[in-house]
A and B are shown apart, each in its own frame.
Chain A
Amino acid sequence: MLKFEKRENIPLHLRILIPLISILLGVLIGGIAVMFSQVNPLTVYKAIFIGAFGSTYVFSETIVVAIPLLLISVGLILVFKMNYWNIGAYGQYIMGAIFSTYFALNSAETMSRSILLMMMCIAGMVGGALWALIPAALKAYWKVNEVITTLLLNYIALYILKFLMYGPWRNPRSFGFPLTKIFELNAQLPKLISHTRIHLGLIFGIVAAIIIWIIIKKTKFGYEIRVIGENEIAARYAGINIAKNIILAMVISGGLAGLAGMAQISGIIHMLQIEINPDYGYTAIIVAWLSGLNSLTAMIVSFFLGGLFAGASQIQMTMKVPIGIVGLIESSILFFLLGGAILTNYKLYYKGRKII
């Protein structure tokens, strides 16, 4: 009875209406769940909204969350365009954090701030890129499925981090906690706006989004990636070097995830620890998908999801709702957004009548 037909082009009003309606539905379902815990859903949503956009400070926290999401997702967009499913941003993010920490711990006294930060950025990107290079080479030369390799490498990265934190990099004065010492000011990314936590990483993210957009739309490399992603046989026929493209795209994707890891520890946490929010690596997959693999749209989507997470963490602190409820609200909204994305790409017919 229900039938889907692919759209040739997506009308603008649908691009706006469908996500809006999806969010409303997600809010509705999430609200029902909230009622079960004896709290008025309206108060909760009001609190989330205020917690995300209600004051300059919380607004800045929204942007703080959006920075890593944006950096990682635009890199993912590049490889997803090629039909390469990098699930490993989590691990690449961790490796970026680890590599840059090496300089933060060892070169803070010998380097000026700008040089040190530049070194940390490069190290972060190299760390993420190297971690992405492993599954890329396995895929390019031996056709090993990247979903499995990138996913498994996440755990290896996590345990390398744990090893360093419980071992060589643990601050002897941290009373046994797995933390490094706090980074010197030299190793901290400068703030963009005082009295907030918004750091230079925001600029990195915006620049990365623009560069990725240019790569995909305007360059030969981007063209090759699209040809490979849409029809690998035709790419071979045209003589496109598929192995080279996989490796290059993954190096960029991993490098951006690594840079996100670096920005997070250097701009926000100011030390290396076990909890450095690598889950952004998974959430960024959703960002990439919701933005329709368009890196400029990813800026808006990152901001919105940043608001959702920032707002949700606010109510966790201010209202007495169980932590699980917060996750439930987040996921029901995401779920409807992803489901709604189908309708932006396909027409829906019911009994032969076009519905949307």
Chain B
Amino acid sequence: MDAIVLQAKNISKHFPGVLANDHINFDLRKGEIHTLLGENGAGKTTLMNILDGIYYPDEGEIYLNGKRVDIRSPFEATKNGIGMIHQHFMLVDTLSVLENVVLGLESQGFYLDKKNISEKIAKISKKYNLDINPYAKIWQLSVGEQQRVEIIKTLFRGAKVLIMDEPTAVLTPQETDALFKILRRMIKEDKSIIFISHKLDEVMKISDRITVLRKGKLVGTVDKKEIKQKELAKMMVGREVLFRLDRNPMNRKGEILKIEDLETHNDKGIKILKGINFSIHGGEIFGLAGVSGNGQKELAEVIVGLRRAIAGKVYIKGEEVTNLCPKAITKEGTNYIPPDRLKVGLVPNLNTVENAILRRYDREPISRGIFLNYEEAAKYTRELIKQFNIMVPRENVPVKFLSGGNLQKLILAREIREEPALLIAVHPSRGLDVGATEFIRKKLLEERDQGVAILLISEDLEELLMISDRIGVIYEGEIEGIVDIDSADINEIGLMMAGVQKNPLDK
């Protein structure tokens, strides 16, 4: 058995109103991938933040190679050879890859030796197959590429223990495979990896050992070879989980959304949509598949009015809404679940009530003349909380203290309650645990059965196959093809996502 590199003993951590970690024990062996599994709010990220020195435990000890260490900051964690790759990347958008890599390094003098550094980066890139241009600015990179920058950053600092907080949540299947190859390569080079996830199939694929947390408590540590996926799921949620969703036959209604030759620019001013055409009917879920960065995000933004179309038209229920303001488009019956919950969908420092009323604060009864009726607002919020089973410590706590699943439920609740004709959901279950994911998908299906037209943009192919009625594939700003779910073939879709094959039936 390999030596234990890192050990956490009896770790406890309190936050206002929650015990995030309750006497947790965890150890990591040299050259293994040890997965930390648990639902949102189980305390995985808290535990890892403690190992990385972001939080300091209220109780407990950490041992590194058998020696007790006191990690008080990420800087000290780095010095001890621990590097963490966060779910939300810690990169400066306007700086280059190289500048981000050296940011905060102690050894740098006044003058930045770019040539030397870029050579060092190139060496690391080559060793682990992390292909990246060191001079590209962060904002120009796709999510997958940004993650690679984070990995390079930690390796550059000499990390021996890598903590990866839900790294696959933002990746396509292909990117995930590539990441796994990189991870396997790293453990061969004697690195040890803590992998945080709640995607069971991935966990089964990549882990050597698995530690399960639930509600801040340790459920157990198991060897991958000795456990089945189903048992793992039960450990994680404490009950059996549905893997397939039952759904009613589609009851297709009239056309709700129609998009004609739509073109738009991305943030860099480059044309990212190059003539998109498709339409969605009431009562159907149209899944849009594609590798991240092919124009999905921009497409959603154009439809809801957050981005200007440079050509083409958008119709909702036959009315042209191209380039109208977001409010007018919402009035036409369009609601939107954005990909980034805290950046777009919610106001982190405002409380649950103030976030819940974002769509209807200027309508009666919450609006009362120029005033807000806070009693009505609170009443409405309690309704949402009850109806969607949202866990909120207190209504007046800023929503940034809620877990990802509850944030998403809050957004979903708020948007669905507007009774939209068209619902656009972008990565609705990204980063959510099994329970919340299932809940979100079921709700989308319910809406579909109610006759809502749903545009589901997701990088999770399984999710698309599970609930869509038709799947379109976007590649480099064009629809490569559209397939019916009954005749959908995952390999064919995968090829279209890579731009290899066009669907002859559609064109």
For residue B400, give the distance in angstroms from its CB to the closest CB of chain A: 10
A237 adjacent to B306 (CB under 8 Å): yes
Report yes or no: B346 in contact with A223, Cβ–Cβ below 8 A: no
Q: Is the CB of B10 closer than 8 A to any CB of chain A? A: no
CA distance A240 to B73 in the complex (A): 40
A112 to B347, CA, bound (A): 51
Inter-chain contacts of A13 with B (CB < 8 A): none
Q: Is the CB of B306 within 8 A of A238?
A: no
Given A231-B346, A231-B347, A219-B371 contact (CB < 8 Å):
yes
Question: Cβ of A227 and Cβ of B72 under 8 Å apart?
Answer: no
In this assembly, does B336 line the interface, its C-beta being within 8 Å of a C-beta of chain A? yes
Interface size class of A (residues with CB under 8 A): 20 to 34
Max chain A C-beta neighbours (<10 A), residue from B16, B349, B371:
B371
A236, B306: Cβ atoms closer than 8 Å = yes
B225 adjacent to chain A (CB < 8 Å): no
Select which of A234, A241, A352 is within 8 A of B347 by beta carbon.
A234
Q: Chain A residues near B70 (CB, 8 Å)?
A: 352
Given contacts A237-B338, A349-B56, contact A223 B370 (CB under 8 A): no
**B residues near A239, Cβ cutoff 8 Å:** 325-328, 330
B470 → chain A closest CB, angstroms: 27
Q: Specify which chain A residues have a CB less than 8 angstroms from the CB of B328 in the assembled complex.
A: 239
Is there contact, CB below 8 Å, between B358 and A238? yes
The answer to whether B348 and A230 have CB atoms under 8 Å apart is yes
A236-B346 in contact given A8-B401, A220-B371 (Cβ < 8 Å): no
Q: State whether the Cβ of B494 lies closer than 8 Å to any Cβ in chain A.
A: no
A203 at the interface (CB under 8 A from B): no
Proximity string of chain A (283-313) to chain B, C-beta cutoff 8 Å, 1 when within and 0 when not: 0000000000000000000000000000000
Contact in complex: B372, A220 (CB < 8 Å): yes
Q: List residues of chain A with CB within 8 A of the CB of B346.
A: 231, 234
Q: Are B343 and A231 closer than 8 Å at their CB atoms?
A: yes
How many cross-chain pairs have Cβ atoms below 8 Å apart between A and B? 72
**Could you tell me the distance between the alpha carbons of A236 and B304 in the complex, rounded to whole angstroms?**
11
Contact B372 A230 (CB under 8 A): no
State the CA gap A219–B367 with chains docked (Å). 9
Cβ contact within 8 Å between A1 and B72: yes
* Shortest distance from the beta carbon of A109 to any chain B beta carbon, whole Å: 40
Question: Is residue B95 contacting chain A, with contact meaning CB distance below 8 A?
Answer: no
Question: Across the interface, which residues of B come within 8 angstroms of A227, CB to CB?
Answer: 347, 350, 354, 358
Taking a contact as CB atoms closer than 8 A, the residue among B16, B354, B370 that contacts A226 in the complex is B354
Docked complex Cα distance between A221 and B370 (Å): 7
Query: How far does the Cβ of B383 sit from chain A's closest Cβ, in whole Å?
Result: 19
Complex CA–CA separation, A3 to B53 (angstroms) = 11
Residues in chain A near residue B338, CB distance under 8 A: 237
Q: How far is the CA of A233 from the CA of B358 in the complex (A)?
A: 13
Contact with A along B342-359 (1 / 0, CB 8 A): 011111111000100011
Closest to A238 in B: B358
A215-262 at interface with B (beta carbon < 8 Å): 218-221, 223, 226-227, 230-231, 233-234, 236-241
Residues on B with beta carbons closer than 8 Å to the beta carbon of A173: none
20 A-B contacts, Cβ less than 8 Å apart? Answer: A3-B56, A218-B372, A218-B374, A219-B370, A219-B371, A220-B372, A221-B370, A227-B350, A230-B348, A230-B349, A230-B350, A233-B344, A234-B347, A237-B304, A237-B336, A237-B338, A238-B326, A239-B328, A241-B327, A349-B56
New A-B contacts (6) at CB < 8 Å, excluding given A230-B347, A351-B72: A8-B16, A220-B362, A230-B350, A234-B346, A239-B330, A241-B327
- Listed from nearest, the 6 A-B pairs whose CB atoms lie closest are A239-B327, A239-B326, A231-B347, A352-B56, A238-B358, A230-B347
